[in-house]
Each structure stands twice: as C-alpha cells, then as structure tokens.
Chains A and B, each alone.
Chain A
C-alpha cells in the first residue's frame, strides 16, 4: 500500500499501527518520498505527478503494490492512472483517491475563479485523477454531490468514510491563547471582509487586547493589494496587534504554533480543503472546527440541501463564536462523537482492498497489428536523417511503413544521402517523395500523411531518435485508452551523436494533455512527434500551412483539443 498523505502524520501512524496490530505481515505501508508528495495544498506543477509515476513504477518493480492511496489535491496520481488505464503499468493495482475538495470546488466556495494557468493545470489533473480512479473516498457526501452536480466524471465506486488521521474533532489549546491565526486565502473574494468586520465589533475587540491576530494564507498575486488595503483600513480601530503571513512553509507554521500559544481558525471553513485542517489536527495544533463558518458540517445526518446551504450562505455570527471559543480554550463541536480511530481505519482499509477496476490492457497479435505509417519530413539533414531512420528500422512493432518527404533539399550531402536511401526504401516498400520546391514543414507533412497507407500515422522529426518500443507502446496505449491522438514525454539532448536506448542524461519534457485553454499561452499539449489516426488527421484538415511560420503542430493540437478529441 503506497501512502501519499502527510508524512509522519497521525494518519500514516494510525494506518501503520493498525497494520502492525493485524500481525499478518500481508500488508505493509510505504510512504511516498517527499519529492513526489504534495508540499502544501495550494500548488502543484504537473511534473511532480510524472515524478510520482516514475517513483511508483520503480517501487512496484521491487515490491508488489496492491493499493495506492492518494489525495485528489494536485492530481498527483494523474500519470500513474494514465499508465494503468492505457495498459502500460500497474495492472491489478487499485487507486483510491481521497477527496479533500478539489481546487475548482475550493475556489467556487471562496467565491474565487480559476484565473491562472497553474490553477487550470491543477484543475485538469484533479478532474482526470478522479475520473480514472478505481474509487473515490470522501470525508463527507457533500463533496461527491458537488462534483457530480458540476458534471465531473466519477469513478465506478464512490464511498464516504471518515479520515483515518484523527479521532478528536478539534484540538484544544495547551495554555493561554496569545495568538489567533486565521487560515484563509488573502483575497477579497473569500471571508476576509467578514473577518475584519467581526474583529471590529466591540465585544470581540475587548477580549483581543492582549492577543495577536495573524492572517495566514496563500498569495493571490495582484488581488492581495486590495485585501491588504482592506485589512489596513479595518485595522485603524483595532486595539490589538495584527500581521499578515504569506509564507506557507513549515518554518512559518513553527513560528505561529511552535510555542503552543496559537489557535487556528478557518473562516472559510473547509472550503480551504481538508488538508490545512487535517494538518492542524495531525500536528496537534489547536484549532477550532470550522462548523458553521461557511463550510459544511461533518455530521452525516444533515441532508444534502442543508449542507449546500451551509456552504454557500456563511453564518455571519460564526466567526465571532469561533473567536470566543478559541479564547475560551473550548471546542465548538456538535453532534455525535466520531467513531473510534481503529474502526475508521478498518472501514477505510476494507474500502481500499476491494478488487480494482480492470484496465483494458490487450495484447496485440502480429496478425491484427494495424499498419503504422511513420511520416517524416526532411530538408538538408544529411547527418541526422539516417539516425532517425535507423531508430525507426529498429522498432519492435511489425507493421510499419516510412513515408519520407524531402522538402526541397539543396545541399549536396543531403541529396546524396537521399539518392543512397532510394533503393533501400524500394526494397522495404517504404516511399520517398522528393519535392523540388520548398513548401515548408506543415505542407510537406500534410503531403506525407495524404500519401500514407496506414490506419495510424506517426509524425516524426528527421532529427529525433526513437526508442525501439515507441510505436508498439503508443499504439497499445491508444487502443487501450480509446484515444485517437497520443503524445508522450521526450528526452531532450544536444549534439550530433545518437543517444543510446534509455539515455536520460538530458532533461525530460512532459506534455500534460488536452487542456485547450492553456494552449493559447503555453505548450502543454505535446509536439509534432505524435501518433494519430490518419482519418482524424484528415478530418481536422491537417496542419495549417503558413509558409515560414513555425509551430503548426501546437496549433493543430489546440484545434484537436477544442474539437473534443
């Protein structure tokens, strides 16, 4: 079982204790290394998800893995899940995604929009993770309800189970409270104005004279300025000390809570997600449970309509009540006590160990292998073209043809190489088209695809080098996952040498996938070296042929993604 929750937290400890208590030795819990883990709940680059997939593969080669338990936040399991669904890896592994409230929902609850590329990527990763998971476990029914009502594709199994990490509802402060920390986004879209108003009430002000108020939350860039101005304007009437803490690191947490005199309040409730709240409880940080602070209750007996109302219409008195509760050192718990920790772990593990949804992995026999046409455009690449062709020749897939279009080479060396290649091409049944006039890459590639005879075409650059299993892997993946276009990560290198198989000495660039809106600003979709059904390429009318303007491939992929492919 691979555990990607908080390292060394109560959740992991409790899970380990439970497993040890069983005494069977049949289950071991392995924490994911920090490099692949979510550092904090607000940001994650998609490369981290690729690192996680690589780590998991290496780990699974050494130890049998039955269950992978990951949070939805950040979509860390995206590439691992793609590998499973595409039949590349992790056959028989069950992926259980924990819903802590994906970014899109958290943003909506904080009255904020997805308004930057990082959030767009994170939203995509989380959406796909939930869609491809074997099971989604939520701490509260309101989360899957929200996802379903907003059109998210859900996995076959959706379950509600309390988190394993904590038995207490809220942690009481150890001694006198001298610091109250509001954990929330520092933006005007959230609860900040309401917090400021509450802090200005006479009944609250009097009690806070000897207390420091800290606003601790993720930066929202330019919008911070409005929030800061609002705090400063409100603070004119505050008799207490206050400050804003934008540093979200563990060091900042130590400064805020290390002396035991700080209490956390979540003015936006769990719309900040479970992770900060869970982090408080795991770390023994005193916190006030965010019931009625504009978040949903954790109680299961409330019906969905009540929960939704609580989420969307925050109780204006609740922040004041939370402040008094924090100063009194009491918790504002309501309802039934949570079930004992062991029972929750047992229920959770039972859910995890159900059989996984089988991936559609199919082995392809030689007889049914569809023809793949490798379409290459070349121009004056005498030294590099033979390397590209040799790597295609070395493929372990049986049904390949190469369609080579020379886009008006002028250099003697290149022309001589093409002359030499012609008889070899004829012998193999491959085809070469030599154009006198240069038409530029896009037009030449379109010609290559038009001339191709394969059901699938692979566009390939004349200076790239293929791994021997590229075509087989891409085709099997496309068939298993049901995709018409397939891209893949690439190893980037410099020099004229031919890189050895498996060489990763340079950097690795990883495409994200079909996020068309992001394609306008950054290339996250892929590049020319892709596998596509020939029919689809022609239906999309191929690459646009603007002579002299590069990046026809990116435009093509944006078009494909906006067409819903």
Chain B
C-alpha cells in the first residue's frame, strides 16, 4: 500500500454524508469495527488488547474534552475573581458554603429516612 504524493481528486463534504449525524451507538460500532482486524490477527488470549487500547483512547479523548471545558470554566472564574476582587470571592465562598450546607442537610434527611428507626423513637 503506497500513497501517490499528488492531489488527484476533489472530495465533497455534503450534509448527507454517511459519517455525519451518527448516533452514539453507530459510533461505538464503528470504533469496534476498527479494532476487528487486530482482534482477528491476534491469538485469542490477546484479543482484548486492541479493544482496551481503543477504549482507553476514547476515554482519554473524553477526558481531554472535559479538561478543556474545565480550563475554560477556571479561566472564567479567574476573570471574575480579578474583576470582583476579594469581596466577590467572599460572596462566592459564602454562597458555595450555603449551598453545600443545604445539600448536606438534604443528604442527612434522605439518609435518616432510609435508616431503620431506633427503638426509643418507636416507643414515642
């Protein structure tokens, strides 16, 4: 297999191209399809290796996406911090603490509901 180092045709990108608008299921099937030649070429004991490698790469890409999203979020927060100064940060911390307290209270309530009632409670 070799590459002619010459541009020899024009490839059109169209709205109805097969690779466009793939569902996550089809994408997953497509990724498995790429692993198949390796799986077939390997002894059965090693057949999971290409799938694992493929899975890791997929996970890395997801993590990279998440990382870049978080970076953007951090940049926003930093910008806000610069803009609002210490006071803004204090407000932010207070709000975060409030919401954390509320979340913790909800959590405790839900845990209490799931716990078996104590003997002393039953008596009353």
Contact = CB atoms under 8 A, between A and B. Distances in A.
B14 interface: yes
Contacts of B53: 520-521
Given A494-B12, A521-B57, A488 B6 contact: yes
The interface residues of chain B, by DSSP majority, are classed as mixed
A495 B12 CA distance: 7
Interface residues of B, number: 31
Contacts of A521: 53-54, 57
Given A558-B34, A562-B41, A550 B26 contact: yes
Contacts of B38: 516, 520, 558, 562
B113 interface: no
Contacts of A549: 26, 29-30, 33
Contacts of B13: 492-494
Contacts of B33: 544, 546, 549, 551-552, 554-555
Contacts of B26: 548-550
A464 B5 contact: no
B18 interface: yes
Contacts of A495: 12
B50 to A, nearest CB: 6
A418 interface: no
B10 A513 contact: no
Interface in B22-72: 22, 26, 29-30, 33-38, 41, 50, 53-54, 57
Interface in A484-501: 484-495, 499
Contact of A469 (B8, B11, B30): B8
A86 B4 contact: yes
A147 interface: no
A441 interface: yes
A491 B1 contact: no
Contacts of A550: 18-19, 22, 26, 30
A31 interface: no
Given A550-B22, A552-B33, A562-B38, A493 B5 contact: no
- Most-contacted residue by chain B among A460, A504, A548 (CB, 10 A): A548
B34 A554 contact: yes
A483 B8 CA distance: 17
Given A477-B4, A550-B22, A488 B34 contact: no
Contacts of B1: 483-487, 513-514, 525-526, 557, 560-561, 565
Contacts of A508: 7
Given A441-B18, A552-B33, A558-B37, A520 B5 contact: no
B37 A488 contact: no
B12 A510 contact: no
Nearest to B35: A520
B34 A470 contact: no
A495 B30 CA distance: 27
A483 B26 CA distance: 33
B64 to A, nearest CB: 12
Contacts of B8: 466-467, 469-470, 473-474, 488-490
Interface string A507-521: 011111110100111
Given A490-B11, A520-B38, A83 B5 contact: yes
A565 B50 CA distance: 20
A535 interface: no
Contacts of B3: 79, 82, 486-489, 510-513, 526
A473 B14 CA distance: 27
B65 to A, nearest CB: 16
Nearest to A494: B13
Nearest to A387: B12
Nearest to A472: B8
A19 interface: no
Nearest to A467: B8
A44 B23 CA distance: 34
Nearest to B57: A521
Contacts of B4: 82, 86, 88, 473-474, 477, 486-489
Contacts of A488: 3-9
Interface string A462-482: 011111011001100110010
A559 B1 CA distance: 11
B2 interface: yes
A499 B7 CA distance: 13
A405 to B, nearest CB: 15
B54 to A, nearest CB: 6
A437 B18 CA distance: 18
A114 to B, nearest CB: 14
Interface string A438-472: 00010000000000000000001101111101100
6 contacts: A461-B12, A489-B3, A510-B3, A512-B3, A513-B3, A529-B9
Interface of B: 1-14, 18-19, 22, 26, 29-30, 33-38, 41, 50, 53-54, 57
Given A53-B5, A478-B2, 12 more contacts: A80-B5, A463-B12, A467-B10, A474-B8, A488-B4, A490-B10, A491-B9, A504-B7, A520-B57, A526-B1, A558-B34, A558-B38
Interface of A: 50, 53, 79-80, 82-83, 86, 88, 384, 391, 441, 460-461, 463-467, 469-470, 473-474, 477-478, 481, 483-495, 499, 503-504, 508-514, 516, 519-521, 525-527, 529, 544, 546, 548-552, 554-555, 557-562, 565
